[in-house]
């Protein structure tokens, strides 16, 4: 049975954690950006400037 190289295993674990944290942060930023884009793209209420006013 081969011996485990704890230095390499530790580096892999740390790199994996950093990668997961990076993915989560990026996903949160993308979610905020997506929500902002959706809110901005919603139809705005039309103004009644095209109709004659009743006086």
Would you place residue 50 in the very low, low, confident or very high pLDDT band (cuts 50, 70, 90)? low
pLDDT score, position 40? 81
Cα torsion 45, 48, 51, 55: sign: positive
Residues 10-30 have a mean pLDDT of 96
- Measured at the alpha carbon of residue 37, what is the angle toward residues 23 and 19, in degrees to the nearest 5? 5
pLDDT score, position 18? 98
Rounded to an integer, what distance in angstroms lies between the CA atom of residue 50 and that of residue 52? Answer: 7
Does the pLDDT of residue 28 top 80, yes or no? yes
Report the chain's terminal Cα–Cα distance, integer Å: 95
Phi, psi of 4 (to 5 degrees): -80, 130
């Amino acid at each position: 049975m081969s011996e485990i190289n704890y230095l390499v295993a530790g580096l892999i674990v740390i790199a994996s954690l950093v990668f997961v944290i990076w993915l989560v942060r990026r996903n949160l930023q993308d979610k905020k950006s997506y929500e902002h884009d959706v809110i901005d793209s919603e139809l705005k209420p039309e103004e009644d400037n095209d109709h004659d006013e009743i006086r």
